[in-house]
Each structure stands twice: as structure tokens, then as C-alpha cells.
Amino acid sequence: MSNLTVTREQVLAELNSVPMLPHSASRVLEISNDPDHSMADISRVAETDAILTAHILKVVNSSAFSLSQRVDSLERAISYLGKNVIVGIVLSYSLSALYDKPLEGYASQKGALWAHGLRTALASKEIVKFTSGKHYANVAYTAGILHDLGKSIISKFMDGSVRELISSVENGTAADFLDAERVLLGTDHCEVGAELAKLWSLPDSLREVIRYHHRPRLADETYRPLVYAVHLGDMISMMGGLGTGADSMNYQLDSTYPDYVDISEDQLTELWFAVEQEFNKTKSVLFGDEEGDEQ
């Protein structure tokens, strides 16, 4: 696709062809946005969706768990898998059309966006504990999975322009990759993602993360602890080699983060370690133990 003719309007118009989020998924997102939700609340939503229920049972009975008995009830499946894994299953199942393709515009492989989101989710959930927004732990997890949603929409408009984007960051024409996207397309993955979140009526907290995860200081004050947490979670994910391709590590760390996140270098190192273990575990439950390029 030639980039010369692409306008912001064309990119945003692409949103009209994105399928709506399945009802069960938007309900799960809504529920997990409530700090006091329980496992039973999520179970009740999953129950109403037969395909989703079958999918959850398939995962719990898959090889990742060496259970002696088959699990046939959703309730037991959920108690085996835990809340985060269930939310992960619901999202991977509902977002597969967007997340399960290679991102040409970022020169990244199939699965990279999902792995990056999951790693960011697990890191953000821990980092938010070092902010004044501790009650956001569950939201931070879902927000982490969703934060780069916009990449799946704008990627095709950047196909063939990867080198141009990279060199504009390298020679300083653009401050970072996000800026480079904006120079090329008149918009960026944050704005487009936030527009999609609006179209899907996602809660404000999630939309704010999607919109400002690279510029947390611009987020609404109410959600700033959450947005800063995902901002750092995203950085940790990229430093661990789980970026989404050519843009990886080409983003600015917001130097105001210590105003919202009180974390030392040692705490960060310990957290890094715990997150990596949790990631490997969750990933093998969700997707099995396939080896592959992580980019």
C-alpha cells in the first residue's frame, strides 16, 4: 500500500470494517473494570456463551494441565485456571481477528502483539501496586492486553514504510516511533486504538490507557496511576525482548513517572523476574508450548 496518499480520515475509516466485540467479551471487560468483582461474576457471563464455554473447557483439558480427570463444568474450569487466565482466554478468543495476524507495518510476526500485550498486562498488574491506584490491579491487567490494539488497525497503512519510520526516529525527525506514525499517517496507534475503544464502548479507564500509554502525563488525573503503570509495564515488556517488531524500544520513557510510581531499581528487577515466570506459565496455558520467534 502506498503511503503517499494515506490520510488520517482513511485510517480512521478503517474502523468501520472492524467487527463489534462479542457481547460476552464486553461484559467481561466491564466486570473486570469493577475492583470488587468476583470469579462468579465472570463465570456467569461465560455461561451465556456456548462457544466460549467450550473453548474454556478445551483449554483446561489441554495438555498444559496434567489433570487426572476431565473437567466438564465451567465452574471447576474457572477455579483451576484462575481469573487472569480466564480473562486472557476470553480476550484471545474475542480479539483473534485483530491479534492473530502478522503486523506488516511493524515487520512483526503473528502472535507478537498478543505476547507483548500479555507480558505488559502481567507487569502492569504488579507495577500498579506501587502507585496510589492499587485498586486498579485487575484493570491494569486487561488494559495491558488491550493497550496496543490500534497497531492491528494502522499496521497495513504502514506496510512498505517500515524503513522510513525507523530512520525518521534514528535521525531525530521524529521523537519516537509514535511520533513517526503520526508524521506518516496523521494519526498513531494510540489515537486509533482509543477510537476503536469508543466504538466498542469500553470503560473510560481502558480507553485512557489505550490513548495515553506512551504519554501518561496527558491522561486524565483520575486514571493517571493506572496509565503510568501500563506505561512502565509496556517498557518492561519491550526490554524483555517482547516488542511488536520494528518499533520495539523506540519509545520515550516519561520522566515524570516517579511522581506516580514509587519503585526502586531493585524492586523493578525482582518484579521483572516474577513477571517473566508468570508470563511463561500463562502463555503455555493459553497457547500451548510452541517455540517460535518472539518478535
Partner 1 sequence: MTDILLGVGELGAANTPGDRLRTLALGSCIAVIILDAKTKTAGMVHVVLPLSKTNPEKASNLPGYFADTGIPTLIKAMGKMGCNENGKGKIVKLVGGAQIMDPNNTFNIGKRNLLAIKKILWKYRLGVIAEDVGGNISRSVAVDLGTGKIKISTPGRDEWEI
- Residue number with CB closer to Fe ion (49 or 148): 148
Provide Rg for the chain, Cα atoms: 19
Other beta carbons within 10 angstroms of residue 116's beta carbon come to: 28
Q: Does 234 bind Fe ion (CB under 5 A)?
A: yes
CA distance linking residue 155 with residue 127, whole number of Å: 29
Of residues 211 and 224, the one with the C-beta less far from Fe ion = 211
Interface with partner 1 in residues 157-216 (CB under 8 A) = 162-163, 165-166, 169, 176
- What is the widest separation between alpha-carbon atoms in the chain? 60
Among 49, 74, 91, 106, binds partner 1 (CB under 8 A): 106
Q: Which stretch binds Fe ion (CB under 5 A): 64-72, 102-110, 143-151, 224-232?
A: 143-151
H or E segment at 277? helix 265-287
Per-residue contact string for residues 111-150; x = within reach of partner 1 by CB under 8 A: ----------------------------------------
Dihedral sign (CA 28, 30, 35, 41): negative
Three-class SS state of 217: helix
276 binds, among Fe ion, partner 1, none (CB under 5 to 8 A by kind): partner 1
Sign of CA dihedral 245, 119, 24, 207: negative
Which residue, 195 or 234, is less far from Fe ion as judged by CB?
234
Cα angle at 250 between 247 and 255, to 5 degrees?
145
Determine, following the binding rule CB under 8 A, whether residue 295 of this chain makes contact with partner 1. Answer: yes
Asked if 251 and 176 count as a contact pair (C-beta separation under 8 A), the reply is: yes
With a CB cutoff of 8 Å and minimum separation 6, the contacts of 171 are: none
Please answer whether residues 74 and 34 qualify as being in contact, where contact means their C-beta atoms are separated by less than 8 angstroms.
no
148 binds, among Fe ion, partner 1, none (CB under 5 to 8 A by kind): Fe ion
**CB of 291 vs partner 1, minimal distance in Å:** 7
State yes or no: residue 239 binds partner 1 (CB under 8 A). Answer: yes
**Binding span for partner 1 by CB under 8 A among 1-9, 18-26, 190-198, 240-248:** 240-248
Of the residues 43, 94, 152, 248, which one makes contact with partner 1 according to CB under 8 A: 248
SS3 assignment, position 93: helix
Cell of 278: 508468570
Query: Does the footprint of partner 1 cover residue 242 (CB under 8 A)?
Result: yes
**108 near partner 1, judged by CB under 8 A:** yes
By CB under 5 A, the count of residues binding Fe ion is 2
Contact between 148 and Fe ion by CB under 5 A: the answer reads yes
Residue 52 near partner 1 by CB under 8 A: no
Dig out the grid coordinates for 287 from the structure: 497457547
Q: What is the DSSP letter of 19?
A: P
DSSP 3-state of 227:
helix
Q: Which residues bind partner 1 (CB under 8 A)?
A: 106-108, 162-163, 165-166, 169, 176, 235, 238-243, 245-246, 248-253, 255, 265, 268-270, 272-273, 276, 291, 293-295
Q: Which residues bind Fe ion (CB under 5 A)?
A: 148, 234
